[in-house]
Chain A
């Protein structure tokens, strides 16, 4: 296969996956310099996104640049090992999310996984509203946050506003304005999301009891 070297600015106009193809072609052609050129442009393009997402989920004392470098490195290597299908950026997002989860799992204390709100620091509890006039309940912030992490941004935002006490119509309106989701949120969607959330909280608490 012929390899056609490109300028930095031409490479910068390519998609991530086209840059990976370029690196691959340069490697096959034995052109180390162009392989390095492609790696540099791809790493530079995506590093801030990875670093930002990690920084968004870990404490101020964590060296996020170090973790971001590891994630980027692993993602680029994986793309040459045939370990991923689909777009590079999606794999990068998945690997970043996994790395954040691993980070928290490694830090999590083993005892008392689901404290139910008896005693302890009151600031650490969140009151979840009830359904249709039924009384609400209180769960730990940790339990809520763990559940939220598994949801999409729009669903997470719905839960946050629900806990704040906004109505379903208000929540749908705010989420549509702030996130501009592909499928606009409706009041019915909001009800479904919040009901499922409350059900999961109940199950988690029952399971812990």
Chain B
């Protein structure tokens, strides 16, 4: 058995034991020997058996970490935002808090950062109805995350065949927002009866800009 084959067999044993990173193995060779090993591993992986279910190994694994955002993408009204937005944020190395501050600034509502945070959180959680999120928000968000607003818009489309049986369209307030004394007519017209999760109507006096934020995240266009 030549050296390449020997290392290849070691890799297969490692893969079957649950450690699939080939780099410690390919790193032992160079030149054409390395290329040969890479090809053998690649060929093996295209037909390798899937990992047998192991609840112990699953706990705390990357596979487990994927479940929540995927489930939110599949049942929420935010399309694939629950997986895409954290991914883009991670790629750009922006903390959610910083993104929200930038977004509030870009939308000219820095004093309503908290409200923007609630909506953005809902977008990542799949609880915001994507059709209500305005183009202005998506353009600002796209700039921060260095992607096109059209990409965000498409990702936000709810996944086909979705049937919210047993699910609440969680971000929609079931009754229209109560009119507030002094509410500006534009903001009032923009309200669609949606409100961020956890909002109980009593925690703080709404700012005028909060209503603008509501409109930007729920009024569409």
Write out, one digit per residue, whether chain A residues 138-170 have a CB within 8 A of any chain B CB (1) or not (0).
000000010010000110110010011000000
B41 adjacent to A36 (CB under 8 Å): no
**Most chain B C-beta atoms within 10 Å of own C-beta, residue among A16, A32, A43, A148:** A43
B residues in contact with A36, CB < 8 Å:
67-68, 71
Segment from A52-60, A108-116, A186-194 that makes contact with B = A52-60
Q: Taking the nearest CB of chain B, how far is it from the CB of A47, in angstroms?
A: 5
B39 on interface, CB distance cutoff 8 Å = yes
Nearest B residue to A66 via CB reads B90
Segment from B158-166, B182-190, B201-209, B211-219 that makes contact with A = B158-166
A residues in contact with B5, CB < 8 Å:
178
In whole angstroms, how far apart are the Cα atoms of A16 and B212 in the complex? 46
Knowing A23-B74, A40-B63, A60-B23 touch, does A73 contact B69 (C-beta < 8 A)? yes
B residues in contact with A184, CB < 8 Å:
none
In whole angstroms, how far apart are the Cα atoms of A8 and B52 in the complex? 11
Nearest A residue to B30 via CB reads A123
Identify whether the interface residues of B are mostly helix, strand, loop, or mixed: helix
A9 on interface, CB distance cutoff 8 Å = yes
Q: Taking the nearest CB of chain A, how far is it from the CB of B134, in angstroms?
A: 24
In whole angstroms, how far apart are the Cα atoms of A30 and B163 in the complex? 8
A98 on interface, CB distance cutoff 8 Å = no
A-B CB contacts (within 8 Å), total count: 157
B51 adjacent to A47 (CB under 8 Å): yes
A172 on interface, CB distance cutoff 8 Å = no
Residues of chain B in range 10-46 having any CB-CB distance to chain A below 8 Å: 15, 18, 20-23, 26-27, 32, 35-36, 38-43, 45-46
A64 on interface, CB distance cutoff 8 Å = yes
B39 adjacent to A49 (CB under 8 Å): no
A87 on interface, CB distance cutoff 8 Å = no
A residues in contact with B23, CB < 8 Å:
55-56, 60
B62 on interface, CB distance cutoff 8 Å = yes
A45 adjacent to B39 (CB under 8 Å): no
B side interface size, CB within 8 A: 56
A179 on interface, CB distance cutoff 8 Å = yes
A residues in contact with B178, CB < 8 Å:
none
Knowing A57-B38, A73-B69 touch, does A179 contact B50 (C-beta < 8 A)? no
Nearest B residue to A41 via CB reads B53
In whole angstroms, how far apart are the Cα atoms of A64 and B50 in the complex? 18
B159 adjacent to A39 (CB under 8 Å): no
Knowing A48-B20, A148-B35 touch, does A60 contact B27 (C-beta < 8 A)? yes
A200 on interface, CB distance cutoff 8 Å = no
In whole angstroms, how far apart are the Cα atoms of A41 and B70 in the complex? 13
Q: Which residues of A contact B (CB under 8 A)?
A: 8-9, 11-12, 16, 23-24, 27-32, 35-36, 39-41, 43-49, 51-53, 55-57, 60, 64-66, 68-70, 72-74, 76-77, 80-82, 93, 145, 148, 153-154, 156-157, 160, 163-164, 178-179
Closest CB pairs A-B (n = 5): A30-B166, A45-B50, A153-B43, A48-B20, A52-B20
16 new A-B contacts at CB < 8 Å, known A56-B38, A76-B70, A157-B36: A8-B53, A11-B53, A23-B74, A27-B75, A31-B166, A39-B67, A43-B67, A44-B53, A44-B58, A52-B48, A53-B42, A56-B26, A56-B45, A69-B66, A73-B69, A93-B46
29 A-B contacts (beta carbon < 8 Å): A12-B52, A23-B74, A30-B165, A31-B166, A32-B71, A35-B74, A36-B71, A40-B64, A41-B53, A44-B51, A47-B66, A53-B45, A55-B21, A55-B23, A56-B22, A56-B26, A56-B42, A65-B62, A66-B90, A69-B62, A69-B65, A73-B70, A77-B74, A82-B160, A156-B35, A157-B39, A160-B36, A164-B32, A179-B43
